[in-house]
Each structure stands twice: as C-alpha cells, then as structure tokens.
C-alpha cells in the first residue's frame, strides 16, 4: 500500500510538472509577448537601423555641403547662378520661350 501511494505521488508530481511546463510553453509561444512579437520587433529594429544609417549619411552630406558653402566661393557662385538665376555684368543671357510641344 505504501508503494502504491509513493507511485501515485510520483506520477501526480510528474503530471503537475508536465501541465505547468505545457502552460509555460503555450504562454511563451502564443501569450501577450510571444515569439511572433519578437520577430515583429526584430524586423522593426532592422528597419530603424537602415533608416538611422541613411540619416547618418544624409547628415554627412549636409555637413560637407555646409563646409563647401563656407569655404568654396566657386561652389557658392554656381549655386547662386543655378538656383537664383544671377549672372555677371559682362555675361549675355539668352532666354527662349517654353513651348508646349516636345
């Protein structure tokens, strides 16, 4: 009788541990913070890292442009001519009317 009682206790303990582990596994895979959420967060993190790298490159380009604007007079003159349409006093500008036909 004592052996039967000890065997039932062991089986009961094993059954309880199995149920607890199964519950933890189900909660880990399909709970509020499941594996799918982790994959979504990793994907979002990758997107943000790509965006961060692009912004770092843009900032470097802007810093270079600022440095050229401060130090390179020829670059500054070229930008003024292109963007604002300025010309030197000794230059002759030809303007053609825009036509609608190609």
Q: Return per-residue pLDDT of the chain as tens, 102 residues.
A: 566 676 667 788 888 899 999 888 877 776 666 677 788 899 999 999 999 999 999 999 999 999 999 999 999 988 988 888 888 888 887 878 887 766
Residues 58-81 as b/e (b if ≥16 CB within 10 A, e otherwise) read eeeeeeeeeeeeeeeeeeeeeeee
Predicted local confidence at residue 62, as pLDDT: 98
Domain segments of the chain as ranges: 1-31, 34-86
In the block, which residue shows the tokens 């009788």?
1
Q: What share of the chain is helix, strand, coil (3-state, %, to 5)?
A: 75, 0, 25
Predicted local confidence at residue 71, as pLDDT: 95
Average pLDDT, the chain: 85
Predicted local confidence at residue 68, as pLDDT: 95
- Strand, coil or helix: 28: helix
Predicted local confidence at residue 98, as pLDDT: 82
């Amino acid at each position: 009788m004592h052996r039967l009682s000890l065997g039932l206790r062991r089986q009961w303990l094993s059954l309880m541990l199995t149920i607890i582990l199964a519950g933890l596994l189900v909660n880990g895979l399909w709970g509020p913070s499941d594996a799918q959420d982790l994959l979504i967060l990793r994907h979002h993190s990758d997107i943000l890292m790509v965006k961060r790298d692009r912004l770092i490159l843009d900032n470097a380009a802007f810093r270079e442009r600022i440095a050229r604007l401060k130090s390179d007079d020829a670059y500054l003159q070229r930008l003024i001519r292109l963007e604002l349409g300025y010309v030197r006093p000794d230059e002759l500008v030809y303007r053609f009317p825009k036509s609608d036909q190609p």
